[in-house]
Amino acid sequence: GAVVSQHPSRVICKSGTSVKIECRSLDFQATTMFWYRQFPKQSLMLMATSNEGSKATYEQGVEKDKFLINHASLTLSTLTVTSAHPEDSSFYICSVYVQGARGYTFGSGTRLTVV
């Protein structure tokens, strides 16, 4: 159990365009999902907490208008990078927390390159 699917795994987009990343929980319902960003050779930094049916909670320094999060169902959260710029190029990864022995489960990540 606790499988998280993230799509796409890799995307290249032009500067100024928007990119949507999907995170799906395949075998359980997730009222909360977490979005992280990871720059090369650095650790994961939490961007926002996605809450089903309500607004996401953003970490300090993360622009909510630039990184739009939608959590419309118990199995899907999306992160849209709007008006992407080269400095947004990074590895984005989602996760969910499963109570009990499994703890946090992560998606496979999305490598975004803005050219």
Partner 1 sequence: KQEVTQIPAALSVPEGENLVLNCSFTDSAIYNLQWFRQDPGKGLTSLLLIQSSQREQTSGRLNASLDKSSGRSTLYIAASQPGDSATYLCAVRRRTGANNLFFGTGTRLTVIP
State the residues that interact with partner 1 by CB under 8 A: 6, 32, 34, 42-46, 49, 57, 91, 93, 95, 97, 101-109, 111
Residue 43 vs 65, nearer CB to partner 1 = 43
Report the nearest approach of partner 1 to the CB of residue 113 (Å).
Answer: 12
Could you identify the residue written with the tokens 């319902």? 29
- Three-state DSSP at 86 gives helix
Q: Which secondary-structure segment (H or E) carries 27? A: none
Report the nearest approach of partner 1 to the CB of residue 114 (Å).
Answer: 17
- Token digits for 86? 């080269």
Residue 82 vs 106, nearer CB to partner 1 = 106
Amino acid in the structure at residue 55: K
DSSP code string of 42-67: S-EEEEEEEETTS--EEPTT--TTTE
Report the nearest approach of partner 1 to the CB of residue 3 (Å).
Answer: 12
Residue 75 vs 95, nearer CB to partner 1 = 95
